[in-house]
Amino acid sequence: MEAKTNKNRSAYAGAAVIAAGCMWGSMGLWVRRFSAEGLDSLQILALRAVVAAVVLGIFLLLYDRKLLRIRIRDFWCFLGTGIFSLLFFGYCYNRTILLTSLSVAAILLYTAPAMVTIMSVFLFKERMTKRKLFALLLAFAGCVLVTGVLEGSQAVSALGILTGLGSGFGYALYSIFSRFALERGYHPLTITFYTFVCTLAGALPLADWMPIGTFFAQNSGNLPYTVVYGVVTTGLPYILYTSGLRYVENSKASIMATVEPVVATLIGVLILHEQMTVLSGAGVVLVLAALVVLS
């Protein structure tokens, strides 16, 4: 009976991680409006952090105030998820986009599952199985094909490679620090809330807030749009992903989340009427195959 319960929990946790990846994959659709209004990537990241922190804070006050309690000695976990992961990842990823191309930046970002897998072996004693390694290779190969990086010759600077690997490392650190917080008994809602509080604190001195004020002043419809964007692409997926880490190994969860570029590609084809090449279609199949292998 207990084995069946654990199996069901793992299934639901896996579904939560994949759902989070799907929500992250929709981000480009939302961000286009922000970019068209003149906001840069750091300002958009700051908006995400504001919405997630405020909405989650209000929810926790009404739902269960006990979830707002943390121990000072554990605060490093949330500095890790908020500053060293989200803020550092966002900065490095944005720099990589400027130094290289979107496709190269995406490939370097998706070195994250390999980093999570390696770190989890040493930090949490997770086993490196043949199935997990095979799924990891399938997922990475699929991401390479989906981004279209093989369909053109591109020169990449050493600094671009360095910041790209930095973005993958920062992305990977969320799984690592979240696992430490979970092992200390914190609820996924608590982890997500303090993650974005720390992200916001780090973004405050870095972002130019004047264009953000203008963004809201010029169009009253931008406020509800921003709230929905923050909930759908930030608050909810991070809650789902962190919840999934309770019953799914870090390495597996990170590989499952590679469904993100697949969803981004499908949205581009189905909604934005972008073309899907043979190679990107093959990449979608490989990522889905990786999910089947893990299941």
What DSSP assignment string belongs to 117-150?
Answer: HHHHHHHS-----HHHHHHHHHHHHHHHHHHTGG
CA of 267: how far to CAs of 32, 53, 145, 272, 282, in Å? 13, 27, 16, 7, 16
109 or 106, which is more confident? 109
pLDDT in tens, 133-164: 999 999 999 988 887 777 665 567 788 889 98
151 or 39, which is more confident? 39
Alpha helices in 245-277 (DSSP H): 250-256, 259-270
89 or 99, which is more confident? 89
Q: What is the pTM of this model?
A: 0.89
Whether residue 77 is predicted with pLDDT greater than 80 in this model: the reply is yes
Q: What is the C-alpha to C-alpha distance for residues 19 and 229, in angstroms, rounded to an integer?
A: 16
pLDDT in tens, 235-266: 999 999 999 999 999 999 999 999 988 888 88
Domain regions of the chain by residue span: 2-294
Of residues 79, 69, 80, the one with CA closest to residue 123: 80
Q: What is the C-alpha to C-alpha distance for residues 123 and 128, in angstroms, rounded to an integer?
A: 13
SS3 3: helix
Whether residue 206 is predicted with pLDDT greater than 70 in this model: the reply is yes
Cβ contacts of residue 207 below 8 Å, gap of 6+? 42, 43, 45, 46
With cut-offs at 50, 70 and 90, classify the pLDDT of residue 16: very high
Confidence at residue 264, expressed as pLDDT on a 0 to 100 scale: 85
203 or 35, which is more confident? 203
With cut-offs at 50, 70 and 90, classify the pLDDT of residue 41: confident
- Tokens for 240, please give them: 């789902």
Confidence at residue 144, expressed as pLDDT on a 0 to 100 scale: 86
Beta strands in 159-279 (DSSP E): none
Of residues 73, 57, 74, 75, the one with CA closest to residue 65: 57
DSSP 211: H
- Tokens for 204, please give them: 């405050």
pLDDT cut 70: percent of the chain above it:
95
